Structure 1
Amino acid sequence: MTGLESILSQIAGDGQKEAEEILEEARKKAGEISEGFKEKGAEQVRAILKDGERQAQDLRDRAKSAAELEQRNQMLVFKQQLIGETVDAARRTFEEAPDGEYFDTLLALYTRFAREGQGELHLNARDLERLPDDFLSRMRKAVPGAQVTISPKAHDVESGFLLVYGGVDINCTFRAIFEDAYEELRDTAGRLLFSSQAAAPTA
């Protein structure tokens, strides 16, 4: 081999070596880039999964809140219904009381609402039939200044009575009395019915 050929051969060898080094470096860089893309892709996948879990949890939380709200609404309706039934039952105990107790209650109402002057007390047919003989005298004794008579004509009232002074009607039926006092009676019934539940320790 001549000197020139030797020099050319060395140059070729050096070029081949440098080319291989460049190729190896390129492979290394390509591997790093590939790993980078893999890691970035994995991060994106993890982010998507995390966001999906968050959305799923949000849906579960909203569903739970909606269910709890519906349960509270149903419980409120149930409580209101039960309180209303309790108040109605209390009213019926007055309406269905034995005659003596019933007319004692009417006299108490009359004593509370009667006033001085001429008036007329109206009862239903059933109460007129069972009216105690001394009821009018008891009325006059209870409120001496009131000149009230008992109408012999039956009127369309469920229970209790109407007290009429000229053009002024005082509604003393049990239904009207309970309706006027409904808010207070409802609160009282609610405390009696549900105070033990409110005081019970939570698990």
Structure 2
Amino acid sequence: MTGAEKIIEKILADARTDVQNTERELEERRAALEAQYEARAQQDGEKILEDARQDAQEGRRRQLSMAQLEGRKAILAVKQELIAQAWEGALQALCALPVEEYRALIGKMLLETATEGEHELLIAQTDADRLGQAFLDEYAGPLAAKGATVRAGGFAPIRGGFILRTGGMEINCALETLMRMARGKYDAQVAEILF
């Protein structure tokens, strides 16, 4: 081999070594970058999964809260319905009192309500037999002692009790009206009894 060939061979060998070193460095850089990106992707993936887990837990918590709220609303609605049924049952029981008890109740209410002067008594159609003229005659004396006179005035669209007209004014003593007014005052006590 000649001197020039040896020099060329040396240059080629050095070039091959440089190429191999460069390839090795590039491979090492590629592997390092790949590992770095893989680590970052792993971290991002874990964060995404953790965020998704937290979102799912929050969603479950919200759904559970909503279900509990709906359950409480349903229970409250049932309780309110039971309370309303209790009041309706009480009204029906009052309207269905035996004649003498019913007349005594309505008579007491009439004596408490009627003031001095002339009044007109309107009753439920279903009370025509129980609160007719005989009833008015029975209470005429005690009413007269108060300076009140009461005459039959016909029927009112009520379930029980009466409406007392005096001049241009009406005093509503219908049992359903009185019960409705009592509900606001006694609903809590009824609920305690029921529940």
TM over 0.5: yes
Query: Are 1:83 and 1:186, in contact at CA under 8 Å, matched by a contact in 2?
Result: yes
In structure 1, C-alpha distance between the alignment counterparts of 2:29 and 2:194, rounded to whole Å: 78
Q: Find the counterpart in structure 2 of residue 189 from structure 1.
A: 190
Alignment TM-score, normalising by the size of structure 2:
0.77
Q: Does 1:64 align with 2:64?
A: yes
Indicate the RMSD between aligned Cα atoms, in angstroms: 3.1
Q: Which moved more, 1:58-67 or 1:126-135?
A: 126-135
Letter matched to residue 127 of structure 1: R
Q: Which moved more, 1:113-122 or 1:7-16?
A: 7-16
In structure 1, C-alpha distance between the alignment counterparts of 2:8 and 2:120, rounded to whole Å: 141
Structure 1 51/97 Cα, relative in aligned 2: closer, same or farther at 3 Å? same
Q: 1:20 offset after TM fit, Å? A: 2.8
Q: Does 1:165 align with 2:162?
A: no
Structure 1 20/120 Cα, relative in aligned 2: closer, same or farther at 3 Å? closer
Q: Does 1:80 align with 2:83?
A: no
Find the residue that maps to 2:145 and give its secondary structure. coil
Number of paired residues? 191
Q: 1:22 offset after TM fit, Å? A: 2.8
Q: Find the counterpart in structure 2 of residue 127 from structure 1.
A: 130
Letter matched to residue 161 of structure 1: F
In structure 1, C-alpha distance between the alignment counterparts of 2:167 and 2:149, rounded to whole Å: 11
Structure 1 5/126 Cα, relative in aligned 2: closer, same or farther at 3 Å? same
Q: Where do residues 27-42 of structure 1 align in structure 2 (5 Å cutoff)?
A: 27-42=27-42
Cα deviation per residue 1:55-114 (whole Å; 9 max; x = unaligned)?
Answer: 333433333233233223222222221111111112222222223322222133123212
Letter matched to residue 162 of structure 1: I
Q: 1:31 offset after TM fit, Å? A: 0.9
Unaligned runs of 5+ in 2: none
In structure 2, C-alpha distance between the alignment counterparts of 1:137 and 1:172, rounded to whole Å: 19
Q: Find the counterpart in structure 2 of residue 100 from structure 1.
A: 100
Identity over aligned pairs, percent: 25
Q: Which moved more, 1:112-121 or 1:85-94?
A: 112-121
Unaligned runs of 5+ in 1: 195-203
In structure 1, C-alpha distance between the alignment counterparts of 2:84 and 2:188, rounded to whole Å: 11
